Amino acid sequence: MFTRSPDASIGGFVDFTASPVYFLGMAAVPNPAKTQLLTGYYAALLGRFGPQQWWPGRTRLEVILGAILTQNTAWHNATLALRKLRQAGLLSWRGLRAAGLDTLEACVRPAGFYRQKARTIRNFVDWLEREHGGSLSRLFSLPAEELRRRLLELRGVGPETADAILLYAAERPLFVADAYTRRVLSRHGVIAADSGYHETQEFLHTHLPREAAFFNEFHALLVEVGKKHCTPHSPSCPGCPLEEFLA
């Protein structure tokens, strides 16, 4: 597992008065009731599922590749593609730089949209080499806003992928407001049913502390409850750790 440095907040208690409200490009005033509700969700999920130790990757490179490969598919399919990349010796920068596009396509085929994802991986590797000397440390030293902007300029990298890279590989406090997050929060009436990615992320950045480790854990827990209980078509509310919060 690729894990970040230890953080006391992951044990279950977070001092929400110690961290400023944070999100890119805007200022906001948090609603204390919303913050209390979200912390209640976090405590209930952590109590049931325990620390998730995300992202499931051995290195920052694997985290980045996983963020690309999991686009529009289940994580299981992304892991199959990562396994094939590992077997082919391509989970290294040297291996990826030397790999042909056909080889990449063959390896990432289990993740679906394999031509698009292989091209995105190739674009990222070439761009990192060209613009940042092949150094993730140099790339990740950029301010968060600049780093996010540059990632979004890459073809095949959207907001969710960029934020997954920022949070899980660069350890920057950007909440990944993916479909799991939006589904759980909207069903509980915390956000509107039609809330989009940016709107949901803005809401979470307003009401949660600026802590990458906390964003990491909370997002992973929301994914877990989304898989086990809050499924897209047949939610199973009885026994869900968030059942007590239903109106």
Confidence of residue 55 (pLDDT cuts 50, 70, 90): confident
| pLDDT of 111 higher than 80 | yes
Mean pLDDT of 70-94: 95
Residues 91 and 157 in one domain: yes
Report how many domains make up the chain.
Answer: 2
Q: Are residues 146 and 213 in the same domain?
A: no
Percentage with pLDDT > 70 across the chain: 88
Asked whether the predicted pLDDT for residue 116 surpasses 80, the reply is: yes
Exposed/middle/buried for residue 199 (C-beta within 10 Å: 0-12, 13-18, 19+): middle
Residues 127 and 141 in one domain: yes
Cis peptide before 55, with omega less than 30 degrees from 0? yes
CB atoms within 10 A of CB 13: 10
Hey, how many other C-beta atoms are within 10 angstroms of the C-beta on 87? 10
pLDDT in tens, 162-189: 999 999 999 999 999 999 999 999 999 9
Higher pLDDT, 30 or 65: 65
The enclosing domain of 112 has a CATH number of: 1.10.340.30
Output the pLDDT for position 57: 79
Residue 39 domain boundaries: 8-53+174-245
Looking at the structure, tell me whether residues 39 and 112 fall in a common domain.
no
Same domain, 208 and 231: yes
Query: Domain for residue 1, yes or no?
Result: no
Q: Residues 125, 179: one domain? A: no
- Quote the pTM value: 0.86
Q: Please state, in angstroms and rounded to a whole number, the distance separating the CA atoms of residues 119 and 154.
A: 11
Q: What is the CATH number of the domain that holds 195?
A: 1.10.1670.10
178 and 155 within one domain: no
Q: Does residue 2 fall inside a structural domain?
A: no
Other Cβ atoms within 10 Å of 39 Cβ, number: 18
Same domain (yes/no): 163, 185: no
For 184-224, what is each residue's pLDDT tens digit?
999 999 999 999 999 999 999 999 998 999 999 999 999 99
pLDDT of residue 23: 39
Q: Decide: 129 and 16 in contact? Cβ < 8 Å.
A: no
Same domain, 161 and 209: no
Are 202 and 149 in the same domain? Answer: no
Are residues 71 and 140 located together in one domain of the fold?
A: yes
